[in-house]
Amino acid sequence: MDEQFVLKAALAESQRNELVELGCVNFGRFILEFRQFDWVGEVTREYWRGLSTPALGVMNLHDQSTFWVAAYDWFRLLNPSGGPSHMPALSYYVGLNDGPCPPDIYCRKEDRDMVNCEFGADSPDVVESLFSLYFRERYSDLYKQLFELPIQ
pLDDT of residue 106: 52
Q: Assess contact for 114 and 145: CB atoms under 8 A.
A: no
pLDDT of residue 138: 95
Q: Is 113 helix (H, G, I), strand (E, B) or coil?
A: strand
94 lies in some domain: yes
| pLDDT tens column, 85-115 | 566 678 899 999 888 877 655 555 555 555 5
151 lies in some domain: no
pLDDT of residue 90: 86
26 lies in some domain: yes
Q: Is 79 helix (H, G, I), strand (E, B) or coil?
A: coil
What is the distance between the alpha carbons of residues 74 and 25, in angstroms, rounded to a whole number?
A: 29
Q: Does 135 have pLDDT greater than 80?
A: yes
Question: Is residue 65 classed exposed, middle or buried when 0-12, 13-18 and 19+ CB atoms within 10 A define those classes?
Answer: middle
Q: Assess contact for 92 and 124: CB atoms under 8 A.
A: yes
54 lies in some domain: yes
53 lies in some domain: yes
| pLDDT tens column, 10-34 | 988 877 778 999 999 999 999 999 9
Higher-pLDDT residue of 76, 144: 144
Number of domains in the chain: 1
What is the distance between the alpha carbons of residues 85 and 87, in angstroms, rounded to a whole number?
A: 7
Q: Assess contact for 53 and 46: CB atoms under 8 A.
A: yes
Q: Please give the residue range of the domain that contains residue 59.
A: 5-146
State the pTM of this model.
Answer: 0.85
Question: Is residue 11 classed exposed, middle or buried when 0-12, 13-18 and 19+ CB atoms within 10 A define those classes?
Answer: buried
pLDDT of residue 152: 80
